[in-house]
Amino acid sequence: MRLTPTDAAFIYMESASGPMHISSVYVLDGELTYDQLLTRFEKRIHLIPAYRRKLQLVPLSLGHPVWVDDPEFDLTHHVIHHQAPAGSTLEEAMDIAVTLNEPMLDRSRPLWKMILIEGVPGQTLLLQMTHHAMIDGASGIELTMVLYDLDPRAGEPVPPNEPWIPESIPTAAQLMSDAIAENMRHFDTDNPMQLLARAVNNAKMLAKAAEVMGRFVQLPVITAPFNAGAVGPQRKVGWMQKPFADIRNIRKHLGGTINDIVLVVVSEAVARYLQSHDEHVDGEYMRIMCPVNVRTESQEGALGNQVSAIFPRLSAQPMDCLQRLNAVVAETERIKRDEEAQALTVMQDSMPNIPPVAMLASQLIGTPLDPTVFASRFLAPVIPSVGGYRPPHLGYNFTCTNVPGVQVPQYMCGYEVTDTIGLLVLNGNVGFSITILSYNKKLFFSFICEPRLLPDLDHIVTAADDVFQELLAAAATKGQLRQG
């Protein structure tokens, strides 16, 4: 099974400083044992065929990599136990989880892990790591529906009738010949005349996509401290949770969508952080990358990536939370009106794929000759701020992804999941990002950073909590006025 160009891109972009696995930490109420977790996987691994497949590179990078069955598949290489110091707090165990999450996954094996972390009295942490080439946010949630239950007394699924027998791995000659044959088949759809025909049919959307991408150069944004250098391999995480009822209350009385309210909280928190650190924010803007799920009904349940994105551009100056809400709503409504997410999807589908051979050097990633390991040890110095100024930034400042989850409790071997904390990918010069996961009528805000670029992440988390409380107070005031 060959990776799509989108899925393969996450393999090509990976580096020692920017591993491309998506992770979440699930906190359980109770002390789950390693044997219980391993048994759970033994009884359900047949429901996740992708978890038995490993990455196989094509010689000379003549084609995108393929997924092949791992003939040496062993669950104990993937379901792992880690003992935190006895009596650890949840925060201390989370720090351990973040450290365990930092290295790249082993490319010689299926690209996933589940690490059980014990040591917190009355609680268990499960660190689930799956490569972005296998899943996006939406398919990651669907994956939890296989591993976790909605009933604490749920039984195990019916086992398969036959034992799993891995398919043989293609030879180097087969891999090359299959890649060449597939390239020839794609010639009809990727030749210049076909590309021109698709461009003509999608001219309006492509023009809009070009306009969106052109704004990155025409309208540069502030270079925040967390964009002022290359991301290194270390990570730091902070989080907060909010009742979903509070979000609905804010939406009811102040307007906007749930995504709008999330953007208000995170953008205003970042603006306040920048100002408090003497960054020049007057007249400056920030740009946020927000992934958009474009999975169709027929693609539900399938792994892989089906995503587009929008890039709202918002003021970097702190403001009243209601002013911020008005600005966010105006920007997101413009983006919807202009169909920017759809336009970027059309552009992606209309462009010729990058020839895999151009990514030949990426085959060294994860090997003893990996050049990015050396680079991660000798990072370029951070660009200093001179009087609050840095050169303008032509990219986006951070990612903010909002992933809807199940709104009822989930259980692992009878133990309830109480918290879910996302660990988003960082790469390039994007040293800070935010994941919002909704679960069991709560919203979990997870903030991740490279601590060399953002040493005081807790300041942003505190600012986000302040903004949220201000929105709640404004909603309460508005509600009282309406009742009066």
Distance CA 41, CA 349 (A): 37
pLDDT at residue 164 above 60?
yes
Q: Give pLDDT, residue 356.
A: 72
Is 447 or 304 the better-scoring residue by pLDDT?
447
Which CATH fold topology does 204-409+421-483 show?
Chloramphenicol Acetyltransferase (3.30.559)
Amino acid at residue number 283: G
201 pLDDT higher than 60: no
Query: Phi/psi of residue 312, each to 5°?
Result: -60, 140
Residues 395, 397: Cα–Cα separation, whole Å: 7
Residue 299: predicted pLDDT: 47
Task: Write out the E strands in 32-122.
Answer: 53-56, 66-69, 79-83, 112-118
Domain residue spans of the chain: 5-172, 204-409+421-483
121-155 pLDDT tens trace: 999 999 999 999 998 756 677 788 899 999 999 98
CA atoms of 288 and 303, how far apart (whole Å): 26
- Of 3.40.640.10, 3.40.50.1820, 3.30.559.10, 3.40.50.300, the CATH number of 5-172 is 3.30.559.10
Crossing angle (nearest 10°) for helices 321-337 and 258-276: 130
Are domains 5-172 and 204-409+421-483 of this chain identical in fold? yes
The CA distances from residue 218 to 203, 221, 389, 394, in Å, are 22, 10, 19, 9
pTM: 0.89
What pLDDT, on the 0 to 100 scale, is given for residue 322? 96
pLDDT for residue 270: 98
